[in-house]
Amino acid sequence: MLSQEFINEVKDRNDITDVISGYVTLKRSGRNSKGLCPFHSEKTPSFTVFGDTASFYCFGCQAGGDVIGFIRRIENLDYVEAVKFLANRAGLAVPEEGRNDGLSHMRNRIREQNREAGRFFYRSLYSPAGRHALDYFHSRGLTDETIRHFGLGWSPDGWDQLARHLEELGFRRDEILAADLGYTSRKGGIIDRFRNRVMFPIIDLQGNVLAFGGRRFTDDAVGGKYVNTSDTLIYKKTNHLFAMNLAKNSKSRELILCEGYMDVIALHQAGFTNAVAALGTAVTPQQARVLHKYADRVVLSQDGDEAGQKSIARSIPIMKEEGLDVRVLQIAGAKDPDEFIRKYGPERFKSLLEGCSNDIEYSILRIESKYDISTDDGRLHYLQEVCGYLSELGSLEREVYASRIADKLHIEKSAVISQSEASARRRAKMEKEKEFREMAKNTAGIGSRINPDRSLHLRASNAEYSLLSILFLHQDLIAKAMTRLPPEEFVTEFGRRIYQQFIEIHSSGQEVSMSLLSTQFSEEESAEIVRVINSYDTVGTNDFDTLIGIIKSEHFTPKPQDAAKLSADELLEQMNRLKKKKN
C-alpha cells in the first residue's frame, strides 16, 4: 500500500483548483471557484471548488471529495490508480510497494483479452465462415484496407467460441466476465457476449482496445440492432469517442461528430479523417473535453430523425460550455453521412460542411419548424418560444438574432427584445426559487439518506455539523473538544462517526484530511462531509463552547417519540441528569 506520507505529498503537489480546471471551466466566486458539473448535465453552475479546504462539491448531484476523489470519478480509476495518476502529473516516482495491486492487474488482463478478442474477430471475418459478414462490409462500400485500418471483425455464430479461445490462451472465466466478453449461463457455463455480429473495436488514444460494439447485419440475428460492451474497469462509454485514436492525427482543428460507427468509417474512407462518434445518444461533458483537446470547432452530424435532432439539442449546450464553436450539418436527400457519400460523393459532402449553420441558427430554425408562421396563432407561439431561447443568449447575440426574427415576423425589433428580457427575468426567478427550495430541503435534512436522523434532530445536527466544520478548519481545538464532548453524546449517528474519526486521526498524530476520511466512509458519505465542512464554515471559533452546550443539551433532552418509550423512573432519572448538566 502507498504510505500516507506519499499520498499527502501527492495532494500537496496537485492544487485542486489547477487539477479540476483541466476538466472544468472555472470562474472565481469569492474565495472559491464555480463551474458546470462534469458529472451531470446542468445549465446553471452548481459545482464548487473550495480552495481553503482543498475539496469540491456539486450542490446539484451531491458529488464531492478531495483531489484524489475527483480524479477517481472523472477518470474512472480506483484509489491507488488515482494517486498514481496525480503522482505522474506532479513528476513524483511511485514507491515500488504501491505498484502491484489486484485491480491494476485485472485492468491489464482486460486490456490483453480485448486485444486478443479483436484479433480473433478480425481473423474470423476473413475465414470461410465469416464470408457473409465480409460481404456485408463490402456491400456498404468498405474496402479491405479500411476494414484493416479500423480493425473490424465478425463474432462467430456459436455459444462460446471466443470464450474457449481465451481460455486456451490462459485467461480465467472471472477475467472474461470482468471484460464483459461473456456472461454466465443458467447451467453455470460461459456464453459469448457477441455472436454472429459485425464487430467494431473501440480504441483509446494510446491504442488499447477498450470495448466492442457488435451490429446485427442479418434479419435472423437474435437480439437488438446493437450489442455493446457494458462499463468495465477500463471502459466507461461516457468518457470515450469512437475513432478518436485516428481523428486526433488530423491536421484540422475541426472534428465531425457522427451518430454511428458506419458514418465515421465511411467519412474516413472518403478522406474526412476528422470524424468521430459519441458512444451514446448525446455528447457528455467528458467527451466534450476530449473533443476540445483536439479541436476548436465541432460539426454535429446526426441522423435526421427526431432522436438525432434531440441529441443535437442536448449536445449543443454541453459543447458550448466547454468553449467549442458548434456547427450543425443539415443533410438533405439522405438519412446519414454514410448514405449521402455513397449517393452523391465526397465533393458534395464537402460543400455541405462548408455551408453548415451555427448552433444558434439551427436552434431557431428548429423552433420555427414547429409552427405555421403564416397564421397569427403560429406567429404568436413561435415568438413566445423563440424569445425564450433568445433569453439564454448573451446580449450581443440576442441583438443580432432579434433583428432577424423581427424581420421575418414583420414586427418591431424592440418587441422581440422586450419579450426575450421578460423571459430571462422569469427564468432567473424560477432558478432562484428552485435553489431556495433545495437549500431549505438540505437545511431541514428532509429525505437525507446519509443522515436520516437529521430531520428528527435538526437543532442537534446543525450544531454537530457546525462543530465538525470548526474542528476541521481549526484542528488544534480537537483535543479540547475530546475532553468536553465524548462521541457518545452526539445525537446523530452520522455526526458521531465523523467525530470519532476526527479523534482517531488526531490522536494518531496526523492531520484530519479528506483523503484519510474517505478511507472510512462511502463515496456518498465523503461528499456529504465535504458539504458539511464547507457549508458551515461561517461559524467561528467563538461559537465553540455554545455548540458543545447545544449538543450536550440535545443529547440529554428526551425527544417526544423517545420519552413515550421510557418508564416514569427512567424519565425522571434522565431529567435529573439534564438538570445537573445545566447547573
pLDDT score of 564: 44
User: Given pLDDT bands bounded at 50, 70 and 90, which one contains residue 578?
Assistant: very low
166-187 tens-digit pLDDT: 999 999 999 999 999 999 988 8
Among 99-103, 149-153, 225-229, 296-300, the range scoring the smallest mean pLDDT is: 99-103
- Residues 249 and 333 both lie in one domain: yes
The answer to whether 61 touches 523, Cβ cutoff 8 Å, is no
- Amino acid 441: pLDDT: 57
Domain holding 170: CATH number? 3.90.980.10
Question: Burial code of 332-347, b = ≥16 C-beta within 10 A, e = fewer?
Answer: eebebbbbbbeeeeee
Which residues, listed in sequence order, are joined to residue 64 by a DSSP beta bridge?
57
pLDDT at 557: 63
The per-residue pLDDT for range 392-416, each reduced to its tens digit, is 888 889 999 999 999 999 999 999 9
**Residue 514 in grid coordinates:** 479528506
Question: Could you tell me if 250 and 224 lie in one domain?
Answer: no
260 and 314: one domain? yes
Cβ partners under 8 Å of residue 570, min gap 6: none
What sign has the CA pseudo-torsion 355, 356, 362, 366?
positive
pLDDT > 90 in the chain, percent: 57
Mean pLDDT, residues 267-276 taken together:
96
Query: Do 107 and 221 lie in a common domain?
Result: yes
Alpha-carbon span 196 to 156, nearest angstrom: 5
HSE toward the beta carbon, residue 25, CA cutoff 13 A: 14
Domain of residue 60, residue span: 4-98
Q: Is the pLDDT of residue 79 over 70?
A: yes
Number of structural domains found in the chain: 5
Q: Work out the pLDDT band at 577, boundaries 50, 70, 90.
A: low
Where a domain ends, among 331, 356, 381? Answer: 356
- Provide mean pLDDT across the span 191-197: 95
Contacts of 361 (CB under 8 A, 6+ apart): 328
Question: Is 323 in the same domain as 411?
Answer: no
Residues 425 and 305 grouped into a single domain: no
In this structure, the answer to whether residues 352 and 381 fall within a common structural domain is no
**Is residue 142 located within the same domain as residue 260?**
no
Same domain, 426 and 482: no
Looking at the structure, do residues 559 and 531 belong to the same domain, yes or no? yes
Average pLDDT value for the chain: 87
Q: Under 8 Å CB-to-CB from 573, ≥6 apart: which residues?
A: none
Q: How far apart are CA 327 and CA 341, in angstroms?
A: 19
Provide the pLDDT for residue 80.
85
Question: Is 448 contained in some domain?
Answer: no
Please name the residues in contact with 508: beta carbons below 8 A apart, sequence gap of 6 or more: none
Same domain for 152 and 132: yes
Q: Using pLDDT thresholds of 50, 70 and 90, give the confidence band for residue 296.
A: very high
Residue 420 shares a structural domain with residue 473: no
Looking at 297, 325, 356, the residue that finishes a domain is: 356
Residue 242 region, left (φ>0) first, then alpha (ψ -120 to 50), else beta? beta
216-237 confidence digits (pLDDT tens)? 998 766 678 899 999 998 998 9
State the pLDDT at residue 284: 87
pLDDT at 566 over 50: no
- Please tell me the distance from the alpha carbon of residue 59 to that of residue 449, in angstroms, as a whole number: 15
Please state, in angstroms and rounded to a whole number, the distance separating the CA atoms of residues 191 and 162. Answer: 9
CA-to-CA separations, 382 to 314, 368, 388, 569, in angstroms, rounded: 20, 6, 10, 74
How far out from the chain centre does Cα 32 lie? 21
User: Are the C-beta atoms of residues 532 and 468 closer than 8 Å to each other?
Assistant: yes
Would 449 be classed as within a structural domain? no
477 domain residue, yes or no: yes
Rounded Cα–Cα distance for residues 221 and 194 (Å)? 11
Q: Which amino acid is at 173?
A: R
- For the chain, how far is it from start to end, CA to CA, in angstroms? 51
Which one-letter amino acid corresponds to residue 366?
R
Is residue 214 a contact partner of residue 198, using CB atoms and an 8 Å limit?
Answer: yes
Residue owning grid cell 481473423: 123
Mean pLDDT of 569-582: 51
**Residues in Cβ contact with 500 at an 8 Å cutoff, skipping those fewer than 6 apart:** 487
What are the phi and psi torsion angles at 535 (to 5°)? Answer: -90, -20
Residue 361 located in a structural domain: no
CB atoms within 10 A of CB 222: 10
> Which of 76, 98, 120 finishes a domain?
98
DSSP class of 218? S
Q: Range with the lowest mean pLDDT among 370-384, 385-399, 438-452, 466-480? A: 438-452
Q: What is the pLDDT of residues 447-505, one digit of tens each?
A: 567 888 887 888 888 899 999 999 999 999 999 999 999 999 999 999 999 999 999 99
Q: What percentage of the chain reaches a pLDDT higher than 70?
A: 90
